[in-house]
Chain A
Amino acid sequence: MLIASVATVVIIGGLAAAVVLSPGWARVRSSFFDPDEARRSFHPILEGFWLNVRMFLIAEPIILVAGLAIALARQARSPWLLPLRGLAVVYTDVVRGVPTILLVFLFVFGVPGLKLEGLTNSIFFWATVALVVSYSAYVAEVFRAGIESVHPSQVTSAEALALTRGQSMRYVIVPQALRRVIPPLLNDFVSLQKDTALVASVSLFDSLFTARDMAAYDFNYTPYVVVACFFIVITVPLARLCDWLSRWVVRRERAGVL
């Protein structure tokens, strides 16, 4: 306990001293950690951040549903669904290969460029679509890994009870898979929450774009640090929730057995 405390103080203190005693610290402090600038930018960035949060809250449920649907399509064995299965494979391969920021460009600038009747040109809408497309491919792979991790004897057992393949997926395989993928899924949530900042690149007034605007106006980088703090405030509790949930699943199903 004592050793741990001393080691922590020495290491943290050493790092802090290295930063604070560096020759350029005064410059860095005034351009990144200016309290006045932070105060001034707080409210505009908070408003921008609300856009990031909204985008996350809208995209996440759609991603979960789409991801599971794609994963299930990949598991389909019925000959009727074979084309769907091929499509799911191509989708995950292609989408995961394209950087998310390029998907944002493609959807925000590309789709309205098609000049199709009845489609919105809203940047917010198409940026959200881009995130949904990108993340549903990742989440589908997480679900697939979960589904494939369920022991084949469970499938045999369901078959022996004369369940259909759909029923054994619905009642036996998927529920077990879902419990196992909660931690990696939450990891993707955290990552998605951060990636909502990519929409700053298409001039949407989210927190990062607001910060960039202010930084350019005042020649001061403090707004960027403020944005970082906002993201940390959201993502750290998410990460803790993730740890807690995975422990809860273990406790619930292995109760009494160690």
Chain B
Amino acid sequence: MNERPLIEVRNLRKTYGSRVVLDDISLAVSRGDVVCLIGSSGSGKSTLLRCLDLLEPIDDGVIEFEGREVSDPGVDPRDVRREIGMVFQAYNLFPHRTVLANCTLAPRKVHGLSRRAARSRAVELLGRFGLGEHVDVHPDQLSGGQQQRAALVRALCTEPKLLLLDEITAALDPELVGDVLGIVRDLAAAGTTMVLATHEMAFAREVASRVCFLDGGRVLESGPPEQVLGDPVEPRTREFLRRVLPA
């Protein structure tokens, strides 16, 4: 039972017109895993995350969530997304709702929580992530780092089994990156299952249970962080790391 991965993709293929974005991707994520996707822009990291959340139709292959084939057209993608939280590079908070109202929307409307239950859960999480004073303000009044933390709380409020993070620090000022990464580090330590696309190699090495290097829509190399980041086999991986890692 425990052997079965939480989410697994096999031979996933995704194209936009004639352009192949993901090519024969296979990836299994078990409970408690933290999988870091690395690779240059356009290598397919974001698209892969969007496919995992069934936000993009796929051309070929299979996606299984808790052993159930969810890429089947008969499956309602919302049943799957209920169990998955996703955070985007540009936060994508709802600007017309307060931070609290952002965080309680899905728990109330999708998960059927009462207003009070949703509120107390959101307030507790916002407080834990240092946003206790900003519960009732609109997102535009917050800094980028605070907005991204609010977006993380919004995703966590539905108690997802899997968290997908799409370069969530890429749009932040350098001094705010640490804030957000600190939270992700805590989540990883608490055993949250995550797949994250990131450019923060030092962070990947620290939290990842596995690192996948994507190049041209394929997983070129995958393994424990010390191997992929420290002693890569593929020349493309070495070249990429030479470019992104400080000498």
In the complex, which residue of chain A has the Cβ closest to the Cβ of B111? A162
B138 in the interface (beta carbon within 8 A)? yes
**Do the beta carbons of B55 and A156 come within 8 Å of each other?**
yes
In the complex, which residue of chain A has the Cβ closest to the Cβ of B85? A160
Q: Which residues of B contact A158 (CB under 8 A)?
A: 94
State in angstroms the CA–CA spacing of A159 and B85 once bound together. 11
**Do the beta carbons of B138 and A255 come within 8 Å of each other?**
yes
Q: Which residues of B contact A254 (CB under 8 A)?
A: 140
State in angstroms the CA–CA spacing of A255 and B96 once bound together. 12
Q: Which residues of B contact A232 (CB under 8 A)?
A: none
**What number of B residues sit within 8 Å (CB to CB) of A?**
25
**Do the beta carbons of A163 and B140 come within 8 Å of each other?**
no
**Do the beta carbons of B94 and A156 come within 8 Å of each other?**
no
Q: Which residues of B contact A175 (CB under 8 A)?
A: 96-97
In the complex, which residue of chain B has the Cβ closest to the Cβ of A161? B106
**Do the beta carbons of B140 and A171 come within 8 Å of each other?**
no
Cβ 8 A contact of B138, one of A153, A156, A159, A253: A253
Q: Which residues of B contact A153 (CB under 8 A)?
A: 88, 90, 92
Question: A142-178 interface mask toward B, CB cutoff 8 Å, 1 = contact, 0 = none?
Answer: 0000000000011011111111100100011001100
A247 in the interface (beta carbon within 8 A)? no
**Do the beta carbons of A176 and B140 come within 8 Å of each other?**
no
Cβ 8 A contact of B110, one of A154, A162, A176, A256: A162
**Do the beta carbons of A162 and B94 come within 8 Å of each other?**
no
**Do the beta carbons of B95 and A253 come within 8 Å of each other?**
yes
B78 in the interface (beta carbon within 8 A)? yes
Q: Which residues of B contact A157 (CB under 8 A)?
A: 88, 92-94
A39 in the interface (beta carbon within 8 A)? no
Q: Which residues of B contact A15 (CB under 8 A)?
A: none
**Do the beta carbons of B140 and A256 come within 8 Å of each other?**
yes
**Do the beta carbons of B92 and A156 come within 8 Å of each other?**
yes
Known contacts A160-B55, A253-B140, A257-B140; is-contact A171 B109 (Cβ 8 Å): yes
**Do the beta carbons of A162 and B96 come within 8 Å of each other?**
no
Cβ 8 A contact of A161, one of B90, B95, B110, B138: B110
Known contacts A153-B92, A154-B92, A163-B106; is-contact A256 B141 (Cβ 8 Å): yes
State in angstroms the CA–CA spacing of A13 and B106 once bound together. 63
**Do the beta carbons of A161 and B96 come within 8 Å of each other?**
no
Cβ 8 A contact of A164, one of B78, B140, B141: B78
A40 in the interface (beta carbon within 8 A)? no
State in angstroms the CA–CA spacing of A176 and B140 once bound together. 14
Q: Which residues of B contact A156 (CB under 8 A)?
A: 55, 88, 92
State in angstroms the CA–CA spacing of A66 and B88 once bound together. 36
Cβ 8 A contact of B81, one of A159, A252, A256: A159
Question: B178-191 interface mask toward A, CB cutoff 8 Å, 1 = contact, 0 = none?
Answer: 00000000000000
CB A222 to nearest CB in B, in angstroms, measures: 50
**Do the beta carbons of A255 and B105 come within 8 Å of each other?**
no
Question: B89-120 interface mask toward A, CB cutoff 8 Å, 1 = contact, 0 = none?
Answer: 01011111100000001100110000000000
CB A150 to nearest CB in B, in angstroms, measures: 10
Q: Which residues of B contact A257 (CB under 8 A)?
A: 140-141
Q: Which residues of A contact B138 (CB under 8 A)?
A: 252-253, 255
CB A196 to nearest CB in B, in angstroms, measures: 33
Q: Which 4 A-B pairs have the closest CB atoms?
A: A157-B92, A161-B106, A162-B81, A160-B86
24 contacts between A and B (CB under 8 A): A153-B88, A153-B90, A154-B94, A157-B88, A159-B55, A159-B81, A160-B84, A160-B88, A161-B106, A162-B110, A163-B110, A167-B109, A171-B109, A172-B94, A175-B97, A176-B95, A176-B96, A179-B96, A252-B138, A253-B96, A253-B138, A256-B140, A256-B141, A257-B140
